[in-house]
Amino acid sequence: MMIDFELTEEQKSWQKKAREFVNQYIVPNADKYDRTGEFPQPIVEKAKEYGLLALAAPKDLGGPGLDAMSSALVNEELGKGCVGMQTTLGGNGLSSYPVLFGGNREQIKLYFKHILNGELAAFALTEPGAGSDPGAIRTVAVRKGDHYVINGTKCFCTNGGHAGVYTVFASTNLSERNRGLSAFIVEADQKGITVGKKENKMGIRASNTVEVIFNDVSVPVNRRIGDEGQGFKIAMKTLDVARLSVGATAVGLCKRILTETIQFVQNEKKNGKPLAASQYIQFKLADMATRAEAAEGLIDKTCYLKDSGRPYSKESAMSKTFATDSAMQLAETAVEIFGPCGYLRESNIEKLMRDAKVMQIYEGTNQIQRIVIANHVLKGR
Ligand code: COS
């Protein structure tokens, strides 16, 4: 059988749309939002016009219901523009999947009413004592008749300060750890929700990362996604998708770093010759380009597996790890090639390095990804 890398017309049109959006609105503004750490509300408004806020919304609700390949192409373009802004827009995908995987029809409708209306959403899983180990979650949801009462604090919550709706993971049985977790749709106007500390980050400064505090938040039972105790598996399935998105974004970042570096070595001269004439630089460029290409290949294969309904959890973890480690490696090499100029705030390259670093950490650290990968290979998968 021939392996086909040709994009469909629909995939090409999403790639084109995202590229246009990035070039017109993200590239000219990325530096400003990086410096100020201000929330890019005008860009979010534009993303809404372009239909980039509701990529996961099902077709029968009027959304695009994108396949994995189209989503990856969009994320790659966003990653070329600004990883912080991708993180903001991507937050809507991340928080949508628990509802798509575990929700009933009414819940899907309720949830996507917010998203299709152009609102942002937030995925509230991580807590101060529960990052890599969701089993340690201390936020509780206690059933009281036809409601649950949620109490607890979430941290590092992307879009947490701007979300119209949250998917919240809370324990309905603390002694059961992972198996005691349940997922809920919580609308932001619910009484008892407060937004806490806003993090001042090294990179992805155009994204909003906050603490969200739930204090006696009353949530109707029909907002529980799936059964009690299904929350962990819903979160893991969601992270399988999210890790692929991070990988695709990192491919975009790799390509951006490569483009900036090629431009630099062609323009910068040493002893009257462009840096690009040096074989040392050429070897570096060759390795950078090969890594970017290999990362893209891994993403394409994982999208293929997902779109054809096959298991892709291992490949998603591999995609995230390889693409984000590659982005960091390319960024380091680029800064080295740029020399002192690469270390300056006014260079194009140092932001890319700061943004690359977090990609090895969020959506499950690359150490966690290696555990996931090893668990699969040890079981012969
Ligand atoms: N899809 C569906 N089910 C999954 C799954 C997946 N991707 N991964 C695990 N599960 C299931 C397992 O099959 C197992 O099911 P049974 O109880 O029926 O046997 C159950 O979930 C528990 O799995 P496991 O024993 O592997 O869980 P661990 O507690 O060992 O945790 C890791 C595994 C470390 C991989 C998990 O805790 C993890 O991914 N942590 C990182 C969390 C993270 O990424 N946080 C950042 C969020 S960014 S907002």
State whether the beta carbon of 367 lies less than 6 angstroms from ligand 1: no
CA distances to 26, 68, 129, 274 from 63, rounded to whole Å, are 23, 15, 36, 49
Q: Which atom of ligand 1 is nearest to the CA of 156?
A: 49
Using one digit for the tens of pLDDT, what is the confidence trace for 6-38? 999 999 999 999 999 999 999 999 999 999 999
Q: How far is the CA of 179 from the centre of ligand 1 (A)?
A: 10
CATH 1.20.140.10 in the chain, residue ranges: 233-378
Tokens of 348: 């194009």
Say how many Å lie between the CA of residue 162 and the centre of ligand 1: 28
Residues of the chain with CATH 2.40.110.10: 121-228
CATH of domain 233-378: 1.20.140.10
DSSP secondary structure string for all residues of 294-307: HHHHHHHHHHHHHH
Q: What does the alpha-carbon distance between residue 337 and residue 318 come to, in Å, rounded to a whole number?
A: 28
Q: Which two tokens stand for residue 365?
A: 């650290």
pLDDT single digits (tens) 84-120: 999 999 999 999 999 999 999 999 999 999 999 999 9
At position 319, the amino acid (one-letter code) is S
Q: What is the mean pLDDT of residues 234-246?
A: 98
Share of the chain above pLDDT 90, in %: 98
Measured CA to CA, the distance from residue 377 to residue 379 in angstroms comes to 5
Mean pLDDT of 316-330: 98
- The pLDDT tens digits for 146-179 are 999 999 999 999 999 999 999 999 999 999 999 9
244 lines ligand 1 (CB under 6 A): no
Residue extent(s) of CATH 1.10.540.10 domains in the chain: 9-120
Q: Is residue 313 within 6 Å of ligand 1 at its C-beta?
A: yes
Name the average pLDDT for the chain: 97
Residue 349, phi then psi, degrees to nearest 5: -100, -30
Which top CATH class is 9-120?
mainly alpha
CATH T-level topology, domain 121-228: Butyryl-CoA Dehydrogenase, subunit A; domain 2 (2.40.110)
CA distance 171 to 103: 18
Query: pLDDT tens digit string along 259-304?
Result: 999 999 999 999 999 999 999 999 999 999 999 999 999 999 999 9
Q: Which residues are catalytic?
A: 363
Q: How confident is the model at residue 1 (pLDDT cuts 50, 70, 90)?
A: low
Question: Is the sign of the CA dihedral 291, 292, 295, 301 positive or negative?
Answer: negative
